Amino acid sequence: MNRRAVKIFFISLKVIITTLFVIVVNRAIPTDRANLAQLIPLDLLGITIFLSIFSTILHGFRWYLFLKLFGLTPTIRQSFRSYLEGVLFGIITPGRAGELFRGFTLKPEWRKTTSIAVLTEKITATIILFLSGAVAWTMLPQNRGGDIYGYGLAMATILSIMALPLIPFLIKRFYPTVREVRRRFIGTIFISIPIHAILLFQIIILVMPRLPVTITQATCAAASAFSAMQFIPVTIANMGVREFCLSSFFQLYMPSFFSSDSMQYIILSTSIIIVIANLLLPAIPGIILLLFSKLNGMERRR
């Protein structure tokens, strides 16, 4: 089986797994409720997109800091372009693994280092998610949704606490010429916190007007859901997995309301809006930039 056939096979497998997840998780929603205007309220979509703009700016700047952390010297413009193109690569791969190729539009000699930088950024962001999930876990109701997740989260939190000081140490060990590693790494952590806070705030805005939960409950359920999603990186753009995790944790606060199809419908609506605002729209500039890059390459070869 040649490389092209293998690639097509894995893409097809991803699509099949994603489709099955979405169908199974959302099977309780009646087809007669598939009204686009109700599923995607324009006012909530607009607010979420507005917040997504700030999140995208912070993401781009964090990527710039991570490149500097590894001793690379891109401009802020190059960093943002690289990040936006990476969003496009990430959408079509489970767990957004395609973002490992984010730096391939930068200098060819940087490619190995940029892949390591992406991996380090993802590990750091995941650590923030686990620590946030651990705090939320202590505030959840007594019926916390199963011991397996609790044990997994406890182990992940311990490893996260151990990994935080280890990351700058390893960078300094393998990149000895890089200066101010610890200070720059702390900077990436500080910028990761508002990025995660914006994501939680988006969920709060999308859920609270439509579900009978308090802001504390919505925050805890969202933080727990996003940390749980890290254990199931199997679908494209986390579709299906996001709805499953959100509904599982919101169910803890509303066991009776969960028995109806209304909650699952609202969770599906929330997930779709998050995908549109945080993934699809930021990917559009990435598509445009890649097309211009291809066109410029063709012009130079003529």
Average pLDDT, the chain: 84
Q: Please report, as a single letter, which amino acid is at residue 193.
A: I
Query: Looking at per-residue confidence, does 145 or 166 come out higher?
Result: 166
Give the pTM: 0.88
How far is residue 235's CA from residue 302's CA, in Å, rounded to a whole number? 41
Chain-centroid distance of CA 195 in Å reads 10
Partner residues linked to 186 by β-bridges? none
Provide the pLDDT for residue 262.
78
Scan for tokens 């070869």, then name that residue.
Answer: 301
Provide the pLDDT for residue 4.
66
Give the pair of three-digit tokens for residue 202.
């988006």
Residue 245 pLDDT > 70: yes
How far is residue 96's CA from residue 91's CA, in Å, rounded to a whole number? 6
The string of pLDDT tens digits covering residues 84-118 is 888 877 776 655 666 777 888 888 899 899 999 99
Per-residue pLDDT band for 40 (boundaries 50, 70, 90) equals confident
Query: Looking at per-residue confidence, does 38 or 58 come out higher?
Result: 58
DSSP codes of every residue in 171-191: HHHH-TT---HHHHHHHHHHH
Q: Which of 218, 223, 226 minimizes the C-alpha distance to 243?
A: 226
Per-residue pLDDT band for 299 (boundaries 50, 70, 90) equals low
List all residues 6 or more positions away from 136 whose beta carbon is below 8 Å from its beta carbon. Answer: 219, 220, 221, 223, 224, 227
Residue extents of the structural domains in the chain = 39-290
How far is residue 21's CA from residue 240's CA, in Å, rounded to a whole number? 5
